[in-house]
């Protein structure tokens, strides 16, 4: 495992849930973190929890469902004038469970694809080139092993697409110090995962950090599980 002390990490959707656990885990290893939420005030709880760690903490905010808003988030990050060494594309939405799985609306499909897929591409394109130039980077795209549930089709398809982004971009990073991998957190009890999930949100650690602790010639384009 590598040492990520003094590296800088951006974790989208880190105002709560899995993202919040990830920034706490990174900070515990001495990694500086950028907390992201839809609104600035949404980040307050995470920022408070991070005070116990001797790291630099930043906050950016904005929706990841529209191009202009994503661009604004990217600008906020770049205005910090620091290298982004680690990127967790964690933020996602899940549309409602539809017993009538033919009734997923066009709007639900579009919202799922914009937030869960296009934001992954936009954020990756914003920060991976500099990682390549700097000779170091870790990108982790959160995916899902959900299957055989057309009742959640917009969500499951969008997560499959995020996995495909990971696999295809990995080919272009083979000869660099940048690694891109997916992380399946498993079924976790969060606002998105619901109260009947198999695992508590705290259980994603330490497994969720595995993709950033690999060596520069380590796994690339693969899927890690937060919980074995």
Rounded mean pLDDT, 105-112 = 97
Lowest mean pLDDT across 23-27, 85-89, 157-161, 197-201: 197-201
The yes-or-no verdict on residue 190 having pLDDT over 70 is no
DSSP of the chain, one letter per residue? Answer: ----TT-EEEETT-SSHHHHHHHHHHHHTT-EEEEEESSGGGGHHHHHHGGGSSS-EEEEE--SSSHHHHHHHHHHHHHT-----EEEE-----PPP-SSTT---HHHHHHHHIIIIIHHHHHHHHHHHHHHHHT-EEEEEE-----S-GGGHHHHHHHHHHHHHHHHHHHHTTTSSEEEEEEE--SEESTTT-TT-SEEGGGGTTGGGGGGSS-TTS--S-EEES--
Band (228; pLDDT cuts 50, 70, 90): confident
On the CB side of 138, how many CA atoms lie within 13 Å of its CA?
27
What are the tokens at 93?
A: 């939405």
Cα dist. 198→13, 147, 195, 227 in Å? Answer: 21, 16, 9, 11
Does some domain include residue 2? Answer: no
Give the chain's domain count.
1
CATH number, residue 46: 3.40.50.720
Q: Is residue 82 part of a domain?
A: yes
Q: Stretch 164-178: mean pLDDT, rounded?
A: 97
The per-residue pLDDT for 80 is 98
pLDDT at 14: 98
Whether 1 is covered by a domain: the verdict is no
- At residue 192 the predicted structure's pLDDT band, cuts being 50, 70 and 90, is low
Mean pLDDT of 69-88: 98
* Percent above pLDDT 90 for the chain: 91
> How far is it, in rounded angstroms, from Cα 22 to Cα 88?
9
- Give the residue-averaged pLDDT of 119-127: 98
Task: Please report whether residue 23 resides in a domain.
Answer: yes
The rounded mean pLDDT for the chain is 95
**What residue numbers bound the domain in which 69 lies?**
8-225
175 domain-assigned = yes
CA 202/CA 173 separation, integer angstroms? 31
- 3-53 pLDDT tens trace: 999 999 999 999 999 999 999 999 999 999 999 999 999 999 999 999 999
**Any domain includes 3:** no
- Using one digit for the tens of pLDDT, what is the confidence trace for 194-227? 565 578 999 999 999 999 999 999 999 999 999 9
Higher pLDDT, 138 or 146: 138
């Amino acid at each position: 495992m590598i040492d990520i002390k003094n590296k800088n990490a951006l974790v989208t959707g880190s105002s709560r849930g899995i993202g919040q656990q990830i920034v706490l885990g990174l900070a515990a290893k001495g990694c500086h973190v950028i907390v992201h939420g839809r609104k600035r005030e949404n980040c307050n709880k995470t920022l408070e929890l991070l005070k116990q760690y001797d790291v630099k903490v930043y906050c950016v905010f904005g929706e990841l469902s529209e191009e202009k808003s994503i661009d604004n988030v990217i600008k906020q990050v770049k205005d910090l004038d620091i290298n982004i060494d680690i990127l967790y594309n964690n933020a996602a939405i899940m549309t409602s469970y539809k017993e009538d799985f033919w009734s997923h609306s066009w709007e639900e499909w579009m919202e799922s694809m914009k937030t869960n897929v296009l934001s992954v591409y936009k954020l990756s394109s914003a920060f991976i080139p500099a990682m390549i130039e700097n000779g170091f980077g870790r990108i982790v795209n959160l995916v899902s092993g959900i299957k055989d549930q057309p009742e959640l089709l917009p969500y499951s398809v969008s997560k499959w697409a995020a996995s495909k982004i990971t696999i295809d971009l990995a080919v272009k990073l083979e000869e660099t110090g940048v690694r891109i991998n997916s992380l399946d957190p498993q079924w976790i009890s969060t606002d998105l995962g619901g109260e009947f999930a198999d695992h508590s949100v705290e259980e994603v650690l330490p497994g969720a950090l595995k993709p950033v602790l690999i060596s520069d010639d380590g796994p690339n384009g693969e899927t890690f599980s937060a919980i074995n």
